[in-house]
């Protein structure tokens, strides 16, 4: 009975939290569950970025670094991010084809992705996409979902306390796999496509032709074909390249209106 009371309490808390912590993402209208304070989120981003700058080699001069600062400044000007202290750092690693943005306005680009970005518009595509993840608070959303999944696991584990260890372990393994494939991965793919859309808006508002994003992702897809094996989308955190490019093409007519009617155009 004591375990059942605890389970009921946890479920009640989870329901109350879920109902009171929902926010709406302005650009898309999608409801989000956010359980983390944005100021604390920014503080964690600052700390993580400082640690990365201490560990990794940084490009501090030259045309690539200047281009990053210029493009980053334009994208940051149209991205609304509370507690932002914008910083754009170029990390020296020709084998790392990646980029990221952290809460608080910390953006890192690895030199390995520059042959694929090729130009300012390509770099704007990457920066705008990564910043969109941060302004949409996708990281906080994933953590919040993880908290609820953990609560669900505790409740399920409590409900199985008298069913035997084998049954308990089998059900808990199924729960873990189900939440990963059925919740975590689809949400991650949703967030990726959402960041693509919001990133296109940022590009357009900053004065970069959003159609250039298609060209970048096509170059990225070609890189993937040459360097990666075939992957199944339902077991991937990112949408397949063809899925992403097709979605972007559908968005271009809408986003072009932002580009053509931006202030000063």
- Distance CA(229)–CA(70), nearest Å, equals 35
Whole-Å CA distances, 146 to 8, 73, 78, 110, 183: 19, 33, 31, 29, 10
**Which candidate in 87, 92, 130, 258 is catalytic?**
130
Q: Tokens 């059925």 identify what position?
A: 182
Which residues on neighbouring strands pair with residue 99, listed in sequence order?
Answer: 109
Whether the CA torsion 190, 193, 196, 199 is positive or negative: it is negative
- Distance CA(18)–CA(20), nearest Å, equals 6
- Distance CA(255)–CA(187), nearest Å, equals 23
Pairing between strand 87-91 and 106-110? parallel
Inter-residue contact 147 to 183 (CB < 8 Å): no
| 222 noted as active-site residue | no
Quote the tokens at residue 10. 């946890």
Q: What share of the chain is helix, strand, coil (3-state, %, to 5)?
A: 70, 10, 25
* Closest by Cα among 197, 201, 198 to 247: 197
Active site members: 130
């Amino acid at each position: 009975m004591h375990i059942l009371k605890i389970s009921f309490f946890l479920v009640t808390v989870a329901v109350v939290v879920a109902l009171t912590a929902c926010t709406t993402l302005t650009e898309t209208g999608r409801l989000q569950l956010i359980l983390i304070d944005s100021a604390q989120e920014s503080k964690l981003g600052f700390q993580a970025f400082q640690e990365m700058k201490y560990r990794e080699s940084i490009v501090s001069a030259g045309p690539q670094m200047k281009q990053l600062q210029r493009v980053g400044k334009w994208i940051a000007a149209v991205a609304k991010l509370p507690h932002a202290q914008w910083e754009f750092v170029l990390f020296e690693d020709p084998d790392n084809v990646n980029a990221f943005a952290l809460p608080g306005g910390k953006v890192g680009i690895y030199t390995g992705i520059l042959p694929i970005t090729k130009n300012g518009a390509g770099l704007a595509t990457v920066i705008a996409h990564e910043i969109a993840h941060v302004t949409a608070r996708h990281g906080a959303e994933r953590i919040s979902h993880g908290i609820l999944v953990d609560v669900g696991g505790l409740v399920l584990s409590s409900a199985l306390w008298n069913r035997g260890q084998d049954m308990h372990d089998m059900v808990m393994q199924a729960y873990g796999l189900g939440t990963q494939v059925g919740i975590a991965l689809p949400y991650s793919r949703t967030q990726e496509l959402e960041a693509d859309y919001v990133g296109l808006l940022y590009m357009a508002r900053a004065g970069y032709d959003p159609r250039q994003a298609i060209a970048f992702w096509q170059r990225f897809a070609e890189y993937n074909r040459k360097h990666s094996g075939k992957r199944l989308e339902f077991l991937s955190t990112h949408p397949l390249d063809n899925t992403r490019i097709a979605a972007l093409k559908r968005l271009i007519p809408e986003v072009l209106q932002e580009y053509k009617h931006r202030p000063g155009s």
